[in-house]
Amino acid sequence: MHLECTQEERSFREEVRAFLRERLPDAIRRKVRVGEALERADYLKWQRLLHERGWGGMGWPEQFGGAGWNALQQYIFEEESALADAPRLIPFGVKMLAPVLIAFGTPAQQQRFLPAISAGETWWCQGYSEPGAGSDLASLRTRAVREGDHYIVNGQKTWNTFGHYADWIFCLVRTDPEAKAQSGISFLLIDMKTPGISVRPIELLDGGREVNEVWFENVRVPLENRVGEENRGWTYAKFLLGHERTNIAGIGTAKRDLERLKRVAARERKNGRALLDDPSFAARIARVEIELMALEITNLRVLCAERSASAPGPEASILKIKGTEIQQAISELLMRAAGAYALPMHSGPQFAAAEMSAYLNQRKLSIFGGTNEIQKNIIAKMVGL
């Protein structure tokens, strides 16, 4: 298997770098660099700049308004974006819902929703997890009862990321309570402005409120907003989760944070010695860097397989597990490098407070998108253990 980039791919990387230098706003770049929270307007501005360049739907086929990038081009863009301190793309519309609509949506749904996603005109969020139905998602209880040309939706979703920013939500709902768990679920697209929807924030350990509870009380959803067939939503959900788990690996972000860790650890302490000079700490950095290199090679192998039309199997779960573990390990080392300045009540350097916030926030990485324990079960079943 040949993992080196071709001349065409190297030229593409230079094109991406030039775009990032010229078009990424300095104010947004600074926020990302110091770990400051981004606003809704920041994310949408970046998405619109990408859309103007023709990159709003990077991996979408050109006939759907996308750039037609292959998997390796998307990987190159994400790596260079992270190294340039660009915001991460909010995946719910571009990387999660859009592939489902392209594969299973009606022409009317594709024409209605895809252009607005690419242009940054519509913010989507995900309605999957519920109280008691997270890793065991098939046990979800949010109910949708058909009434004429509408569904009436009642229930609750939780751990909903950026629901307070969203215009629309894609939801898994139970449409046949008599069917076995996976067979009675449908996939609905719901306007967040519909009467009966309420969003309640959940405060996290770092004080942030990026996740929410979403309640549905007699919410009317037109039948035309159902994706695919009734009671086959589990098929579309599994298709979407494959995209989510690969995205969570975050290799570009991990490489950026690793370089930041080295810079922080190289700063001279009061005793004249840098933390990077401590053999034990340096060995921990080396260990996580080796694991990241191994993960990157694995990811490239998966991309090469996709390029040769071989669909990934357990690889998506492997990337999710190792990617999230590495990101968490780096955030822990960054917090340790910040030392006492990382304490929330300490008025230390700005970078230090950001490291504590990142450490706390990234505890979730091994949970969402399917817990790492669940991913290990998936791998065992797929390889026949």
**161 in the same domain as 209:** yes
Predicted local confidence at residue 247, as pLDDT: 60
Indicate whether 288 pLDDT > 80.
yes
CATH code: domain of residue 153:
2.40.110.10
**226 in the same domain as 260:** no
Q: What are 6-9's contacts with CB under 8 Å, separation 24+?
A: 9/72, 9/73, 9/76
In a domain, 69, yes or no: yes
**364 in the same domain as 335:** yes
Lowest mean pLDDT among 61-75, 116-130, 184-198, 341-355: 341-355
Predicted local confidence at residue 2, as pLDDT: 55
**227 in the same domain as 137:** yes
**377 in the same domain as 264:** yes
Q: pLDDT (tens digit, 9 = 90+) per residue, 33-78?
A: 887 889 999 999 999 999 999 999 998 999 999 999 988 898 899 9
Indicate whether 200 pLDDT > 90.
yes
Residue 171's nearest CA partner among 144, 198, 189, 153 is: 189
Question: Is the separation of the CB atoms in 292 and 326 below 8 Å?
Answer: yes
Residues in the chain: 385
pLDDT tier at 346 (50, 70, 90 boundaries)?
very low
**151 in the same domain as 269:** no
In a domain, 106, yes or no: no
Domain boundary among 175, 201, 231: 231
The tokens for 164 are 């307070």
In a domain, 101, yes or no: no
**What are the helix (H) ranges across the chain?**
7-23, 26-34, 40-52, 71-83, 91, 98-104, 107-118, 233-248, 251-265, 279-307, 315-338, 350-361, 372-382
Indicate whether 227 pLDDT > 90.
yes
> 152 pairs with which residues across the strands?
145, 220
In a domain, 104, yes or no: no
φ, ψ at 257 (rounded to 5°):
-70, -30
Amino acid identity at 227: V
Domain boundary among 177, 203, 231: 231
Domain count, the chain: 3
Predicted local confidence at residue 246, as pLDDT: 57
Predicted local confidence at residue 370, as pLDDT: 73
Predicted local confidence at residue 347, as pLDDT: 46
**70 in the same domain as 144:** no
Rounded to two decimals, the pTM is: 0.86
Longest dimension (CA), the chain: 75
Question: Is 133 in a helix, a strand, or coil?
Answer: strand
**191 in the same domain as 219:** yes
Instruction: Give the whole-angstrom CA distance, residue 225 versus residue 231.
Output: 14
Considering the candidates 78, 80, 130, 244, report the single residue annotated as catalytic. Answer: 244
pLDDT tier at 306 (50, 70, 90 boundaries)?
low
Lowest mean pLDDT among 184-188, 210-214, 297-301: 297-301
Q: Give helix 251-265 / helix 279-307 axis angle, nearest 10°.
A: 160
DSSP class of residue 36 equals P
Residue 183 domain boundaries: 124-231
Mean pLDDT of all residues belonging to the chain: 87
244 assigned to active site: yes
Question: Is the separation of the CB atoms in 143 and 156 below 8 Å?
Answer: no
CATH code: domain of residue 363:
1.20.140.10
Of all helices (H) and strands (E), which one includes residue 235? helix 233-248
Which has the higher per-residue pLDDT, 313 or 262? Answer: 262
pLDDT tier at 239 (50, 70, 90 boundaries)?
confident
pLDDT tier at 302 (50, 70, 90 boundaries)?
confident
Amino acid identity at 205: L
In a domain, 129, yes or no: yes
- For the ranges 109-123, 243-257, 306-320, the maximum mean pLDDT occurs at 109-123
**317 in the same domain as 275:** yes
**271 in the same domain as 183:** no
Residue range 226-234: mean pLDDT, rounded:
96
Instruction: Give the whole-angstrom CA distance, residue 270 versus residue 250.
Output: 35
Which has the higher per-residue pLDDT, 169 or 4? Answer: 169
